[in-house]
Chain A
């Protein structure tokens, strides 16, 4: 009896995929977010006055650029089931460093590079505490969120530095000639392509999913989990440092409290874009669509005269729905799969019995 059952199982053939290709491509979280983004844009274009002006594109992309930038490394970190809450504080710290170093007479490019390096060092601190000391990233980055912000505010006190070379602040604000697209999109697209290749087409990137799904299994299959995570936090710090320099130039304003609370906007967008907070799942195109969705929704609602509180409510509901829908569907699918399994089991049993 048992022997026959085993044989039957051994000869069974498996399809390469549980679903046909078109379903696998169309029915993903990423596609859903992109579709939602398209719907929001279409509705806004049709109903919101002035949404179709080129100014909308310029302002929107300029304002979401820091979030877009930091969302890239944040995606990689969340895929490995870690989190970096200190990114906005690093933006603040890098902004203050840009200001102080420029004020002290350094040429702006040198000050900017040093400020980015400060971000890198902040990432090294995070990475060291998380991977070498072995503390949970949530606890560590809550700590460094306060620490880096404290240093930033402490360095500049309550003042702001507002004098920056016009060439550089114009560069941060200017559009790509002939288009309404701000110039910051060039470094963003370069970084986005680099991160997409890194995450989706390199062994390093694939190992992030393995770590996110099961750290121990990943370690046993030869992935250096500690080193991988360390690199991710350093990347995150560096990109946040760069975003800090951009933020400073965009508002011509170096202040300790710049970008306060931005970490939540970034994490929200990453989760909305289909990255699982439990790790092991997510793709960059979904994340970019998630950031743009939140940005465009806010922009369209503001243009329609909706107050910021209502915009927050709508964004919040959207996030909760996206998380709830994912969990609900997973639960429904489990129910269905187990029901089918039972049925198959029963029919197999009846076939076996004479």
Chain B
């Protein structure tokens, strides 16, 4: 009964094996030449300046910009830059990349955490293996990393977005928030502070709902459409994520709500340029992600070279950005958020 199956030979599978082996050999070789191994990056007194950037996910323009900033810094001080990451921003998907970095024996790992807890153990294992861990953009629990590069204080970000939306809708009416994933550390902290800020200083503004677009363009687009359907009185949307605000702007710009419903949040100038020019969006905020990556790379270098340990009060040099000091809980603050509008958006290209 099974005989026809039993004699199944597999030259096809063998061919696949050879092709695959070849592919592996080729990539292996190229990685070896490219210095992915992490050896040889160190100079006399320094140590291993191979630094790997691990964003929340790849293909996100925000992280493309921050990683480019990191690469610029690493080139300045003569280290080796590498960029790895999962294709989707799920909590546990970063673990295997952290493990890989530990196996490779890189000097420093610069991470934007998808989840404050899920990658904690993996980061600590990497630190035990001698990797210096710097988080940027989205932090983990403080005991899982050496330093956190904070793009702006949460209060500053929350306040600037609430002020922007209040100004745009005339200080009264219904607003909604379109966030990233429901567990995103930074977004949740900002939303909480926005709620406090609204309650304290803008009693006439009602936050009707917070929806989650999971930092996915289509999901964010659909959630925007759903929000506008559910709340016909909605006057404004805050989207504290670059993917969300661009998707929401794309929906608004082609809908009847264009110019009627205000949109602000955190976006990048290149993504938002056309919507600012066509009047869908008046103003939005952000820091410069390139500076953030740049600072994170210099912080990793300072840790690797033993210049700082991540203690409060430590200070280090960050190239063109100047001197930075480590605050409480190993946090380094980049600066205040920046507001982009039709006047100044032309000056930026990221």
Give the interface of A toward B (CB within 8 A): 17-19, 23-24, 27-29, 32-33, 35-36, 39-40, 43-44, 46-51, 53, 55-56, 59, 63, 158-160, 162, 169, 173, 209, 213, 251-253, 255, 257-258, 260, 276, 280-281, 297-309, 312, 314, 318, 321-322, 324-326, 328-330, 333
- Is the CB–CB distance between B28 and A304 below 8 Å? yes
Interface size class of B (residues with CB under 8 A): 35 or more
Distance, CA A316 to CA B296, complexed state (A):
36
- Is the CB–CB distance between A50 and B16 below 8 Å? no
Name A305's contact: one of B13, B84, B91, B182 (CB within 8 Å).
Answer: B84
Given A27-B7, A158-B183, A251-B92, do A48 and B24 touch, yes or no (CB 8 Å)? yes
28 intermolecular pairs with C-beta atoms under 8 Å apart:
A17-B3, A27-B8, A36-B16, A39-B18, A40-B17, A47-B25, A48-B24, A55-B99, A59-B103, A63-B99, A158-B212, A159-B183, A209-B2, A213-B1, A252-B121, A253-B92, A301-B24, A302-B100, A304-B24, A304-B27, A304-B28, A305-B84, A306-B31, A308-B85, A309-B87, A312-B87, A322-B12, A333-B7
- Is the CB–CB distance between B28 and A47 below 8 Å? yes
Asked if B345 is at the interface (CB within 8 A of a chain A CB), the reply is: no
Name A59's contact: one of B84, B96, B182 (CB within 8 Å).
Answer: B96
- Is the CB–CB distance between A333 and B92 below 8 Å? no
Report chain B residues within 8 Å CB of A302. 84, 96-97, 100
Report chain B residues within 8 Å CB of A251. 91-92, 95, 117-118, 121
Min Cβ gap B84→A in Å is: 7
- Is the CB–CB distance between B14 and A252 below 8 Å? no
Min Cβ gap B323→A in Å is: 34
Asked if B90 is at the interface (CB within 8 A of a chain A CB), the reply is: yes
Given A43-B21, A55-B103, A59-B96, do A19 and B7 touch, yes or no (CB 8 Å)? yes
Given A27-B7, A55-B129, A302-B97, do A44 and B24 touch, yes or no (CB 8 Å)? yes
A-contact bits for B236-248, CB 8 A (1 contact / 0 none): 0000000000000
- Is the CB–CB distance between B27 and A301 below 8 Å? yes
Asked if B82 is at the interface (CB within 8 A of a chain A CB), the reply is: yes
Distance, CA A46 to CA B86, complexed state (A):
26
A-contact bits for B96-123, CB 8 A (1 contact / 0 none): 1101101111000000000101101100
Distance, CA A318 to CA B104, complexed state (A):
26
Min Cβ gap A262→B in Å is: 10
Instruction: Give the contact stretch, choosing among B32-40, B252-260, B270-278, B283-291.
Output: B32-40
Name B103's contact: one of A18, A303, A324 (CB within 8 Å).
Answer: A303
- Is the CB–CB distance between A23 and B7 below 8 Å? yes
Given A49-B37, A255-B183, do A36 and B84 touch, yes or no (CB 8 Å)? no
- Is the CB–CB distance between A59 and B99 below 8 Å? yes
Given A50-B37, A50-B103, do A33 and B6 touch, yes or no (CB 8 Å)? no
**Contacts A28-B6, A40-B20, A253-B118 supplied; 9 other A-B pairs, CB < 8 Å:** A18-B3, A32-B13, A39-B17, A59-B99, A213-B1, A253-B92, A281-B2, A325-B13, A326-B10
Shortest Cβ-Cβ A-B pairs, 9 listed: A325-B12, A47-B28, A158-B182, A32-B10, A49-B37, A162-B117, A305-B36, A32-B13, A59-B99
Name A27's contact: one of B9, B32, B96, B182 (CB within 8 Å).
Answer: B9
Min Cβ gap B44→A in Å is: 23
Residue of B nearest to A325 (CB): B12
- Is the CB–CB distance between A53 and B91 below 8 Å? no
Q: Could you tell me the dominant secondary structure of chain A's interface residues? A: helix
Asked if B4 is at the interface (CB within 8 A of a chain A CB), the reply is: yes
Residue of A nearest to B58 (CB): A307
- Is the CB–CB distance between B17 and A18 below 8 Å? no
Distance, CA A27 to CA B3, complexed state (A):
12
- Is the CB–CB distance between B103 and A325 below 8 Å? no
Which residue of B1, B13, B36, B129 has the most chain A CB atoms within 10 A of its CB atom? Answer: B13
- Is the CB–CB distance between B4 and A305 below 8 Å? no
Give the interface of B toward A (CB within 8 A): 1-18, 20-21, 23-25, 27-32, 34, 36-37, 39, 58, 82, 84-87, 90-92, 95-97, 99-100, 102-105, 115, 117-118, 120-121, 129, 182-183, 212
Distance, CA A17 to CA B6, complexed state (A):
10
Report chain B residues within 8 Å CB of A300. 24, 28
- Is the CB–CB distance between B96 and A63 below 8 Å? yes
Given A29-B13, A53-B103, A308-B58, do A330 and B8 touch, yes or no (CB 8 Å)? yes
Report chain B residues within 8 Å CB of A326. 8, 10, 12
Residue of B nearest to A214 (CB): B1
Report chain B residues within 8 Å CB of A299. 96, 100
Given A47-B25, A302-B97, A308-B86, do A318 and B5 touch, yes or no (CB 8 Å)? no
Residue of B nearest to A259 (CB): B92
Report chain B residues within 8 Å CB of A159. 183
Distance, CA A46 to CA B7, complexed state (A):
33
Report chain A residues within 8 Å CB of B24. 40, 43-44, 47-48, 297, 300-301, 304
Report chain A residues within 8 Å CB of B91. 160, 251, 253, 255, 257-258
Distance, CA A201 to CA B15, complexed state (A):
33
Distance, CA A252 to CA B95, complexed state (A):
12
Distance, CA A29 to CA B330, complexed state (A):
54
Distance, CA A258 to CA B187, complexed state (A):
20
Min Cβ gap A289→B in Å is: 12
Which residue of B90, B104, B129 has the most chain A CB atoms within 10 A of its CB atom? Answer: B104
Report chain A residues within 8 Å CB of B2. 209, 280-281
Distance, CA A33 to CA B6, complexed state (A):
15
Distance, CA A159 to CA B188, complexed state (A):
11
Min Cβ gap B113→A in Å is: 12
Report chain B residues within 8 Å CB of A169. 121
Distance, CA A154 to CA B343, complexed state (A):
45
Min Cβ gap A277→B in Å is: 13
Report chain A residues within 8 Å CB of B7. 18-19, 23-24, 27, 333
Distance, CA A281 to CA B6, complexed state (A):
9
